[in-house]
Amino acid sequence: MMKTRRSDRLVDMTYYLLERPRTLVSLTYFANRYESAKSSISEDLSILKRTFQERGIGLLETVPGAAGGARFTPYMLKEEAAEFVSTLMNAIDDDTRVLPGGYVYLSDLLGQPWFLRCIGRLIATQYLREPIDAVMTAATKGVPVAQAVAEQLNVPFVIVRNDTKVTEGPTMSVNYVTGQSQRLEKMELSRRSLPMGSRVLIVDDFMKAGGTIRGMASLVKEFEGQVVGVAVVADGQVENRVVAKYTSLVHVNTDGEQGLIEVTPGNYATEVYSADTPVDLVHPETD
């Protein structure tokens, strides 16, 4: 590639880093890509680091040494998260969304790229410093959510199914009890989908009692893995929930008989922006 001007370099470097979150890119690669000195590349990265922090785009870290480079990790500031969740609440707060059984129709929202990008960034923010190997969801409407989160974390996402196809090859399966109806169900995952010992983030679109999520957690154990966390777009009102620890963006109360809905913020503010968050996501420092 021909030597480029700084302005062009900054645009291309920004695009390159945004497309490869959580990936360490060596200074040598950038120097060769733009036919520029490493000192110039370091100055460019300092500009990007400051701008990313000021705009609340994400964290750009530089790793020193021969094997070092730059790594971009996206996040969402608390103020932006509150604004997005408010928009999400307004979109969900519609009585016509109430479905039988106390569920809520979210498919139209989860089909919009902007909503999905924001959901992915917000959920990924909680795991800013957590090593995660895969995102897991069930073969329902949570698939686009899993894909959005996996994109921000730059890891694969795997889909658990109730009935696997022959094209899946050998599978691992578990039986689990659904949360409310207490039915015995079965879920399966291809053995090739998830390496043994993986650290897994479980996500879903809507959670009531949490039976499906508990089943996925059992399946992770069969792969000798570890559930790093659980995150859902919305959680509903239930008397007994079988999942104790989780993050939700919004909380929904529904009245099945009258078809009414009440939407309030979920617990994301305390779970994502806790006191032990490794980066100041409220008032980021600028260099």
CATH number for 137 = 3.40.50.2020
Residue 92 CB partners (closer than 8 Å, separation 6+): 104, 106, 109, 234, 250, 252, 261, 263
Tokens of 121: 């960034």
Q: State which of 74, 100, 118 marks the end of a domain.
A: 74
Please state, for a pLDDT cut of 70, what percent of the chain lies above it: 92
Q: Are 35 and 112 in a shared domain?
A: no
* Structural element, H or E, at residue 264: strand 260-265
Whether residue 86 is predicted with pLDDT greater than 60 in this model: the reply is: yes
Type of residue found at 237: Q
Q: Are 115 and 244 in a shared domain?
A: yes
Whether residue 3 is predicted with pLDDT greater than 70 in this model: the reply is: no
Q: Are 61 and 98 in a shared domain?
A: no
Residue 286 lies in a domain: no
Q: What's the CATH code of the domain at 21?
A: 1.10.10.10
Distance CA 259, CA 255 (A): 5
Distance CA 240, CA 247 (A): 17
Q: Are 127 and 49 in a shared domain?
A: no
Q: What is the mean pLDDT of residues 136-142?
A: 90
Q: Are 103 and 215 in a shared domain?
A: yes
Q: State which of 74, 89, 111 marks the end of a domain.
A: 74
Q: What is the mean pLDDT of the chain?
A: 90
Q: What is the mean pLDDT of residues 93-97?
A: 92
In the prediction, which pLDDT does 181 show?
65
Tokens of 125: 């923010």
Q: Are 226 and 252 in a shared domain?
A: yes
Distance CA 48, CA 29 (A): 17
Q: Phi and psi (nearest 5°) for 233?
A: -70, -45
Q: What is the pLDDT of residues 156-212, one digit of tens each?
A: 999 998 876 766 778 888 888 876 667 888 899 999 999 999 999 999 999 988 999
Q: State which of 18, 39, 74 marks the end of a domain.
A: 74
DSSP string, 118-135: HHHHHHHHTTSS----EE
Q: What is the mean pLDDT of residues 137-143?
A: 90
Type of residue found at 2: M
How many Å from the N-terminal Cα to the C-terminal Cα in the chain?
A: 31
Q: Are 64 and 205 in a shared domain?
A: no
Q: Are 36 and 100 in a shared domain?
A: no
Structural domain of 185: 78-272
Q: Are 135 and 169 in a shared domain?
A: yes
Residue 82 CB partners (closer than 8 Å, separation 6+): 269
Type of residue found at 63: V
CB count within 10 Å of CB 91 equals 16
Q: Are 192 and 102 in a shared domain?
A: yes
Indicate the pTM of the whole model: 0.90
- Greater confidence (17 vs 179) lies with 17
Residue 213 lies in a domain: yes
Residue 182 CA to chain centroid, in angstroms?
29
In the prediction, which pLDDT does 255 show?
77
Q: Are 109 and 27 in a shared domain?
A: no
In the prediction, which pLDDT does 63 show?
86
CA angle 267, 187, 116 (to 5 degrees): 40
Residue 145 lies in a domain: yes
Cβ(277)–Cβ(128) below 8 Å: yes
Q: Are 49 and 138 in a shared domain?
A: no
Name the residue among 152, 169, 134, 151 with its Cα closest to residue 57.
152
Residue 104 lies in a domain: yes
> Which neighbouring-strand residues pair with 247?
231
DSSP string, 156-206: -EEEEBSS--GGG-SEEEEEEE-TTT--EEEEEEETTTS-TT-EEEEEEEE
Whether residue 67 is predicted with pLDDT greater than 90 in this model: the reply is: no
Residue 87 lies in a domain: yes
40 CB-side CA count, 13 A? 17
In the prediction, which pLDDT does 286 show?
42
Name the residue among 246, 271, 269, 277 with its Cα closest to residue 84.
269
Residue 148 CB partners (closer than 8 Å, separation 6+): 116, 117, 119, 120
Q: What is the mean pLDDT of residues 67-94?
A: 94
Distance CA 6, CA 185 (A): 58
In the prediction, which pLDDT does 287 show?
41
